Structure 1
Amino acid sequence: MSDLTVHQGPRRVSREELFKLVWQKPLIRLAEEFGISGNGLAKICDRMDVPYPPRGYWAKKEAGKPVVAFRLPPRKDGILQTTDIYPTPPKPVRPPEAERSAAVATAKVEALAIPKDLETLHPRVKAWIAEHRKEQKEREQESRRRRHETWWTSRLLSDLTARDLYRFCVTSAIFTGVEKAGGRIEKSPVTGRVTFLIATHAVECSIVEKLVKSLKQRDETRKWTAYPDHHQSGLDSSGFLRVSITTYLNGHQRQWIESQKIKMDGLLPEIVGAIMAAGPILEEQKREREEREKRYREEEARRYEARRLREIDDKRWNKFRGFAADWENHDKLLLFLAEVERRALEEGNACVGDIALSDWIAWARERAESLDPLRQGAAEMFSAISRVSQWS
């Protein structure tokens, strides 16, 4: 490998170092060692005001032709002296089970095609058309009933346009393909934001018109559809559909956009395969999530147990310290009691509160002796400490 190796993490370079590197080898080869694209490295050079060889420089140099090398200009205000170059993360790889599901589904719907007439549409899509006709008729009747009420007029519902019907036909084909591949349709609103049920997992998809900004008047931009309220105002139809999987799939979300060269007919098997592959991907996400939750619970249990043991240990230590304090008090009390006995001998066995002085001394000695934690031996003292619990 060259003097610059591929780094897993970011690499910090200065203007001077980057300038030296870009004049040692072609930009695209250097970019590979940084783990980014040549275009990305060129943008970094532009931001840092680092000149790099122009197009054709290396070919001329290899051919022995004269070439011009630039100098590094002085750093201007606002230009960074150093920068961190982050490698582009690798593209996520679909799990093997998802690849198999996609392949099987694609094979099952290889001959899938967009319906040519409304009679062969999927029942769910036929229901959209029937509902539109019903609402259209109801509005017309309501408008006739209220035609003399000048303060209120019901907006009539436009006929379905060619773009509406085309979207319906494509959606019908996708519905049919998903069901043929083993999936189910969970939600199918006329807006095109549909939900499939793949291997018990909900997969949300968007089958909608690709919109573009338009300079037309607001009313003109909304004539391409009978559902203007479903779309953002000020946008117009591009004449192409956009199909996308909107459920998060760990970077495996897919999107398909028609163009002059790419037609939806040729994309249908791939779309259905990707939708079916979402089931195993979501199952893998679920498994990983459950494993993370399990590890979290286990870690929480370990932390709780460590905290519990620390609390018990602290309480046992406090118990031991309490015994030490009792032992110290025991010795002090016995010294004091010895002085009491000495003076009692001088005073005689007087009676205090109907109790003889000797009995008082015996009572004090018994209480003082009870403070000795070692009166039954060290083992018994530590046995008492061992019985301390979290709730003691």
Structure 2
Amino acid sequence: MQLTRFELYQRVCDRPLSKVAPELGISGTALAAICKRYQVPYPGSGYWTRMSLGLPAELPALPEAPDETIEITPSTPKPRRKRAPEEGSARKTRRAAKPHRPARHPLLFGVEEHLRKTRDVKDGEFLRPYKRILPDLISSETALLRVLSIANDLCLALDEQGYRVQIAPAADDLHRIHVKEQEVERKDRKYGRYQSGSIWAPDRPTVSMSTRCQSDSLSPR
């Protein structure tokens, strides 16, 4: 279709671009680009809103320019390529190969509640829960949620690599290494002033079992 600048200007000033574009066989975005290229102004959405409310609205003026003929070619939609059955099956196989990652590792369900049931501790000291069969997590009250989040990410990452994280069976007779709770050794042991003389530890360590059934101690803090 061929239109002069003035004819195009009249059309876009008579109705919104979304109404004019389908009549020309193109999209509203393509029509706006043509108007910009040939310096044909068109009213914005505010103009049509005021018109619908019966309020006065001013049309943009057509600037001076050669009144050349504009060729508007309707766009032809590209045919969608049909997917071969083999390709569709391969895509489904790839999706199935990547399992959905759970939000929380099974080992940590209900752990927060048990860790908060603790013996009396002072501000900043490590929690001392009554339950003794728990994941090996050492944390203060204020840092507990962050510790659980880190432990959850670590356990899920190990699961994805083919390791199973669990509490060691009693028959394995495993013991975790001693870890000093202070970065700098001081005479005044703030975190060790308990009746037992040491920080809390579970009865069994938390371990990661590889596919070869080899266990490694896992004690996130």
TM-score (norm 1): 0.23
Q: Compare relative contact order (CA 8 Å, sep 6+) and give the higher one, 1 or 2.
A: 2
TM-score (norm 2): 0.40
Point out the structure with the larger strand share.
1
Larger C-alpha radius of gyration, 1 or 2? 1
